[in-house]
């Protein structure tokens, strides 16, 4: 995906997409959500430190939790994650629909681009 380019020749890399999408009306949340969650997608300290419990600096020991259940997070965290996922999916579908319309109407797109270049 990050090898693809937009119409301005910019590579579709995470930081570019986040910056670009965050400027759209109603999408200001994207940069905050990306900042909070990208560490879970790209292996990072978020993965490692979420497993630690009972950190004891005196004797330099830690407990490690491993399991299917997560009882430490309030329900609101999960609701926010689902809401963000749904909003991101709707935004993705909007762009996918736009891409499909663009591909099905190349003459109209060329006319619009020429019009935009003329000012």
pLDDT in the model for residue 47: 66
3-state secondary structure of 11: strand
**pLDDT tens digits for 8-60?**
899 999 889 999 999 988 899 999 988 888 877 766 776 677 777 778 888 88
Q: Where are the domains of the chain?
A: 74-119
The answer on pLDDT for 2 being more than 80 is no
- pLDDT of 71-91, one tens digit each? 677 888 889 889 999 999 999
pTM: 0.64
What pLDDT is attached to residue 43?
Answer: 67
Contact 21, 41 (CB under 8 A): no
């Amino acid at each position: 995906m990050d090898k693809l380019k937009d119409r301005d020749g910019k590579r579709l890399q995470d930081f570019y997409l986040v910056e670009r999408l965050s400027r759209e009306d109603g999408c200001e949340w994207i940069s905050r959500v990306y900042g909070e969650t990208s560490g879970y997608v790209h292996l990072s300290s978020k993965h490692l430190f979420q497993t630690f419990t009972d950190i004891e600096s005196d004797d330099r020991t830690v407990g490690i939790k491993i399991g299917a259940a997560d009882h430490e997070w309030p329900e609101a965290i999960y609701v926010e994650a689902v809401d963000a996922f749904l909003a991101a999916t709707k935004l993705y579908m909007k762009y996918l629909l736009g891409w499909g319309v663009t591909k099905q109407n190349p003459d109209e797109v060329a006319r619009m681009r020429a019009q935009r270049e003329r000012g």
